Structure 1
Amino acid sequence: MAADPKVHAFEEVAKHNKTKDCWLIISGKVYDVTPFMDDHPGGDEVLLSATGKDATNDFEDVGHSDSAREMMDKYYIGEIDMATVPLKRSYIPPQQAQYNPEKTSEFVIKILQFLVPLLILGLAFGVRHYTKEK
């Protein structure tokens, strides 16, 4: 580890949230895990989901081995400025399609155009099948 570690602001670290550029905050330290993305046993999605927040709990909950903890040294790039870390990750609700009553009628018409002929064919087949002389 560096003798005089660089101190990173949370906003700076949070920008590194892609497969080709991934930084994590664990126990007050910043790690550039980009070279480890392909080798992580849990896959790169696990690492990407830990970006943009303090990932200490995520890391500890998994129960990493001593060798995994030792491996972290080679990815260490500095400390996090704890004063810049939000107390709680803000919740961003997923984008949902807005209900548009004007489009609903178009959709219903398309569905009916598809289903009505099938219904008529089914009824015709049923009537024909049950009215045949045996």
Structure 2
Amino acid sequence: MASDRKIYKFDEVVHHNKTKDCWLIINGKVYDVTPFMDDHPGGDEVLLSATGKDATNDFEDVGHSDSARDMMGKYYIGEIDKATVPLKRTYAPPQQAQYNPDKTPEFVIKILQFLVPLLILGLAFAVRHYTKEK
């Protein structure tokens, strides 16, 4: 029912601008996209850059598919009180940690597991090659 919809003020929504707490305003609706941060094809940075403003133009400019639009329903949490949305946005950078413990360590470990043995093998080859009696 339309009367059951939660109405959010802009000031409530703008504070949800972190990787672990991200809300967006698109077409007058408020979406909690926090569970989608790791799965968004454009990365979480794209979603974070759309916080703190009406992200309708950002969303429409990308040309999302019908399935992407259908998916939005599960993240819908309410409506924005349009009277509280400022006409001009004051820039507030997204609050994302520089180090992402959910992604970075696995990648670094895999790279090191691959590179370290190669470096050791290359070093051993170089030592053997240059210390050989001629």
Q: What TM-score range do you get, normalising by the shorter chain? A: 0.5 to 0.7
- Does 2:66 correspond to 1:66? yes
1:32 alignment counterpart: 32
Offset at residue 88 of structure 1 (A): 1.1
1:54 alignment counterpart: 54
Structure 1 counterpart of 2:42, one-letter code? G
Offset at residue 37 of structure 1 (A): 0.1
Q: CA–CA distance in 2 between the matches of 1:2 and 1:19?
A: 30
1:16 alignment counterpart: 16
Q: CA–CA distance in 2 between the matches of 1:33 and 1:91?
A: 21
1:43 alignment counterpart: 43
Structure 1 residues 53 and 67: CA distance shift in structure 2, 3 A: same
Q: CA–CA distance in 2 between the matches of 1:25 and 1:11?
A: 12
- Does 2:80 correspond to 1:80? yes
Deviations 1:47-96 (A, max 9, x none): 0000000000000000000000000000000000000000111257xxxx
Offset at residue 3 of structure 1 (A): 6.1
State percent identity of aligned pairs. 85
Aligned pair count reads 92
Secondary structure in structure 2 of the residue aligned to 1:51: coil
Secondary structure in structure 1 of the residue aligned to 2:4: coil
1:98 alignment counterpart: none
Structure 1 counterpart of 2:51, one-letter code? T
Q: CA–CA distance in 2 between the matches of 1:11 and 1:74?
A: 23
Q: CA–CA distance in 2 between the matches of 1:15 and 1:80?
A: 14
Offset at residue 6 of structure 1 (A): 0.1
Q: CA–CA distance in 2 between the matches of 1:51 and 1:91?
A: 10
- Does 2:90 correspond to 1:90? yes
What are the ranges of 5 or more consecutive residues in structure 2 without an aligned counterpart? 93-134
Deviations 1:102-132 (A, max 9, x none): xxxxxxxxxxxxxxxxxxxxxxxxxxxxxxx
Secondary structure in structure 2 of the residue aligned to 1:15: coil
Q: CA–CA distance in 1 between the matches of 2:84 and 2:3?
A: 22
